Each structure stands twice: as structure tokens, then as C-alpha cells.
């Protein structure tokens, strides 16, 4: 499974250090299916902000040589691979759109840029099938990529980048090593302005609603039009996906999760499903940020994501942790889900009668508390399990 933005975030740890004070920005990437041999960036910023492309084929070997790649697969969330690209003192300014080559598809990862003579690197989270032992990356010279990083780079590392090397695409392959990475949700979410630009780039198709939104920026009108569209045609995965993107912009993250889950159920295995899966990872970074501020609904959302594998790999312990946190804050939905999980534990438990009794009591307690708070699922469960 392969997934995909351009969310620039600091990680909290890194092994791939070749020099002190280097910039690390984590980018959750956006796949753009490309049928052409040369990938095409998803969007271009205003030309007034673009640096100048300068072709110089004599520098190609030095440019290729200075690009150093390391790919690390998480030992727990095994579809998650962190790709780090470092450049040591490039001879010229550089800007690339980075693509991941997967079979016949080239999937967009995100922008890269370096100022001449600097030592910096960028890191990107991607999802790669567990059987893949290497990755192939395509570096396409791009003024749009350099311009975007100039706008969103908080450390102004490429602020004075006024020209970048131009030439044919560079293709490099790297083996994938394994290591315990941090939780893929432990990423600072992007700012409101950056999220709007990123999610707008992610919108699929060219129907009238999407084109109108890109022209006038009327978020509410576009969201309402897509809500009407999915009500009329609930099997249209593209509309569900685009609705999820707009809900991220509006910071309605739990509703966005529902939209991307719809895409997974409709599409099964496809480029759009891959992108929806990574969108769920992105939404997770918002939810964990809100959960850290004590928002019970966000805690509940994270619990469900870990329970179902929506974004992260399914993790029952993490799911219970977040659901318990939400339940402790009085969230009835979380209580109902915990009750269901404890009932499942009881059904599969082969421990002592004392442990089984504990699971039974926890199941009843969670469902009863949820029902008292008006949770309909809990009320129905209690009505059909009077002899439990």
C-alpha cells in the first residue's frame, strides 16, 4: 500500500544525523497518479514567488552525488517508512518535486529544496508494502517545490534561494532498514493556512464544485455541495474523499475520518484508497494534538483509529488507552466501544475465572455508564443481553 502532502513538521528524534543544526521537517506526502513517464506536480504557486531554473548539465553528477537517502521501516507499524534525504553542501541551489516509484505509478511525495553550500535534510513519511525491501525515488526539478518551501519553512533555510538547478529527472534507489520509529501520529499538525493549501492540492478530479472552490475559495458552499452529492450518490468515493479534505480545512476532524473510511470501504485497493489511508494518518496528527489538550472526542477518535487500523496499523492496546482516556472524561461513545472490546476479550479469554469475571464486570460497567449518558448503541446492547 502506498500513500501520500506537504505537511512540514519537526520530529522528536532522529538517527540520520550527519551534522549539527540540520533542519528536519517531516512531510506526510500526497500521491498523484501519473500516467506519463515524467511526473507532473499537482499545483503551481504564483509565478511572482518562483525562483529561476538554470540548466547546467555539467553539474548533474555533483547534484546526483550530493543527494543521500536513508529509508527506515518502523518495526511496529510495519507499513510506515520514513524517508530522509540529506544534501551536503550542494554546488548550486536545488528544488525538486519528489516522487515514489511504485510499479507503473509515480506517486507524489512532496517538495524538496536546498540553498547552495548548506547541509540540510528533509524527512517524509510514506506507506510502503511490507514486502518491499527498497524504494526508488524520482527527483524532478521544480520551481513550484522551492517556492512552497520558501513560504512554509519556519527556519528560513531557503529564504534567499533565487535560482535552482535544472535538468532531467534524477532516479535513485535505496534499501529499507528497520528501526523503532516514534508514533506516526506524534507530529505537530500544520497551520491553518498550510492545511488549506495542502488539502486544496489534494482535491481529486475537476468537477464544477472543485473548480469553483479553487476559484473563489468558498469553503462552506463547496462543503455543502459535496454533502449533497454524497447523499445523492453514496458510492462516489471521489466525492467522499474531497469532502474529507474540506472537513480537514474546517478542522472537523472526526467527520473527516468518517469520509476517508468511506473511501476505503468503497475503493478497496486503489490509488485513491492509498491516499485516503494516509489522509487518516494526517487527521490523526490533529486528533492527538487536540487530545493532548484534553478533548475527549479527539481521544475517542484516536481510539477508533487504532482499533480499526484507520491510518495507523491496528493496535488494540493503543485503542484501549485512548478510549479509556475519553471514557474517564465522560465520553459515552468511548464507553460503549470499550464495553464492546471487553466483551470480545471475555469471549476469547482463556484465563482464570477471576480474570473472566473482571472482563464481564468491565463490559457491564462500560455499557451501563454509556447508556445512562444516552448512547444508543449501549442501550440496544443492554436490551439484548439481559442475561449477560
- φ/ψ region of 281 (left if φ > 0, alpha if ψ in -120 to 50, else beta) reads alpha
Q: What is the pLDDT of residue 31?
A: 34
CB 39 within 8 A of CB 99: yes
pTM above 0.85, yes or no: no
The model's pLDDT over 211-243, given as tens digits with 9 standing for 90+, comes to 999 999 999 999 999 999 999 999 999 999 999
The label of the residue with cell 548550486 reads 92
Q: What is the pLDDT of residue 388?
A: 74
- 3-class DSSP state for residue 384? helix
Choice among 5-19, 144-158, 175-189 with the minimum mean pLDDT = 5-19
- Residue 175: which of 86, 83, 250 has the closest Cα? 83
User: Which pLDDT band holds residue 107 (cuts at 50, 70, 90)?
Assistant: confident
- Residue 197: which of 154, 239, 148 has the closest Cα? 148
Q: What is the pLDDT of residue 367?
A: 95
CB 24 within 8 A of CB 16: no
Neighbours of 301 (CB within 10 A): 29
Fold of 26-179: Immunoglobulin-like (2.60.40)
| Angstrom distances, CA of residue 388 to CA of 262, 357, 369, 383 | 33, 11, 16, 10
CA distance 336 to 334: 5
Radius of gyration, CA atoms only, the chain: 23
What phi and psi values does residue 285 have, to the nearest 5 degrees?
-65, -35
Domain ranges of the chain: 26-179, 192-292, 335-384
Higher pLDDT, 179 or 140: 140
The model's pLDDT over 305-317, given as tens digits with 9 standing for 90+, comes to 999 989 888 889 9
- Residue 204: which of 253, 265, 145, 259 has the closest Cα? 259
Greatest pairwise CA separation for the chain in angstroms: 80
The model's pLDDT over 37-75, given as tens digits with 9 standing for 90+, comes to 344 443 433 434 568 888 988 999 999 999 999 999 988
At residue 365's C-alpha, the angle toward residues 364 and 369, to 5°, is: 115
- 338's CB contacts (< 8 A; 6+ apart) are 320, 323, 324, 327, 362, 366
Secondary structure E strands in the chain? 26-28, 52-55, 67-74, 80-88, 94-102, 105-114, 119-127, 134-141, 163-166, 170-179
CA distance 271 to 174: 23
What's the DSSP call for residue 313? P
- 122's CB contacts (< 8 A; 6+ apart) are 23, 24, 25, 27, 84, 85, 110, 112
What average pLDDT does this structure show over 286-294? 90
User: Which pLDDT band holds residue 327 (cuts at 50, 70, 90)?
Assistant: very high
CATH number for the domain running over 192-292 = 1.25.40.10
Choice among 36-45, 137-146, 159-168, 208-217 with the minimum mean pLDDT = 36-45
Q: What is the pLDDT of residue 183?
A: 55
Q: What is the pLDDT of residue 2?
A: 37
DSSP string, 106-117: EEEEEEEEE-TT
- Residue 72: which of 172, 180, 171, 184 has the closest Cα? 180
| Angstrom distances, CA of residue 257 to CA of 42, 218, 283, 286, 370 | 23, 22, 7, 11, 22
Percentage helix, strand, coil, to 5, in the chain? 45, 20, 35
- Residue 176: which of 135, 225, 232, 211 has the closest Cα? 135
Amino acid at each position: 500500500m502506498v500513500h501520500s502532502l506537504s505537511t512540514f513538521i519537526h520530529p522528536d528524534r532522529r538517527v540520520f544525523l550527519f551534522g549539527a543544526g540540520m533542519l528536519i521537517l517531516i512531510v506526510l506526502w500526497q500521491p498523484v497518479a501519473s500516467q506519463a513517464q515524467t511526473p507532473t506536480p499537482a499545483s503551481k504557486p504564483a509565478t511572482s514567488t518562483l525562483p529561476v531554473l538554470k540548466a547546467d548539465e555539467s553539474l548533474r553528477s555533483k547534484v546526483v552525488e550530493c543527494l543521500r537517502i536513508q529509508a527506515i521501516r518502523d518495526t511496529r507499524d510495519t507499513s510506515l517508512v520514513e524517508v530522509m534525504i540529506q544534501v551536503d553542501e550542494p554546488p548550486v541551489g536545488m528544488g525538486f518535486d519528489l516522487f515514489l516509484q511504485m510499479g507503473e505509478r509515480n506517486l507524489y511525495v512532496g517538495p524538496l529544496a536546498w540553498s547552495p553550500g548548506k547541509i540540510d535534510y528533509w524527512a517524509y513519511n510514506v506507506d510502503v508494502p511490507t514486502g518491499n525491501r527498497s524504494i526508488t525515488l524520482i527527483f524532478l526539478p521544480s520551481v513550484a517545490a522551492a517556492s512552497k518551501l520558501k513560504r512554509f519553512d519556519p527556519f528560513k533555510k531557503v529564504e534567499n534561494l533565487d535560482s535552482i538547478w535544472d535538468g532531467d529527472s534524477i532516479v535513485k534507489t535505496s534499501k529499507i532498514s528497520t528501526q523503532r520509529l516514534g508514533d506516526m501520529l506524534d507530529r505537530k499538525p500544520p497551520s491553518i493556512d498550510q492545511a488549506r493549501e495542502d488539502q486544496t492540492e489534494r482535491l481529486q478530479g475537476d468537477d464544477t464544485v472543485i473548480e469553483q472552490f479553487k476559484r473563489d475559495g468558498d469553503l462552506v458552499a463547496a462543503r455543502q455541495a459535496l454533502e449533497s452529492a454524497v447523499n445523492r450518490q453514496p458510492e462516489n468515493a471521489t466525492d467522499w474523499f474531497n469532502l474529507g479534505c474540506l472537513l480537514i480545512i474546517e478542522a472537523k476532524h472526526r467527520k473527516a475520518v468518517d469520509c476517508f473510511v468511506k473511501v476505503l470501504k468503497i475503493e478497496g485497493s486503489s490509488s485513491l484508497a492509498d491516499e485516503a489511508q494516509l489522509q487518516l494518518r494526517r487527521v490523526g496528527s490533529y486528533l492527538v494534538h487536540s487530545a493532548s489538550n484534553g478533548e475527549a472526542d479527539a481521544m475517542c477518535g484516536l481510539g477508533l483509529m487504532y482499533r480499526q487500523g484507520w491510518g495507523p496499523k491496528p493496535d488494540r492496546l493503543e485503542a484501549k488507552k485512548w478510549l479509556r482516556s475519553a471514557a474517564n472524561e465522560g465520553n459515552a461513545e468511548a464507553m460503549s466501544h470499550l464495553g464492546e472490546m471487553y466483551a470480545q476479550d471475555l469471549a476469547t479469554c482463556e484465563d482464570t475465572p477471576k480474570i473472566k469475571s473482571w472482563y464481564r464486570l468491565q463490559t457491564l460497567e462500560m455499557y451501563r455508564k454509556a447508556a445512562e449518558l444516552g448512547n444508543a448503541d449501549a442501550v440496544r446492547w443492554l436490551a439484548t443481553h439481559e442475561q449477560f
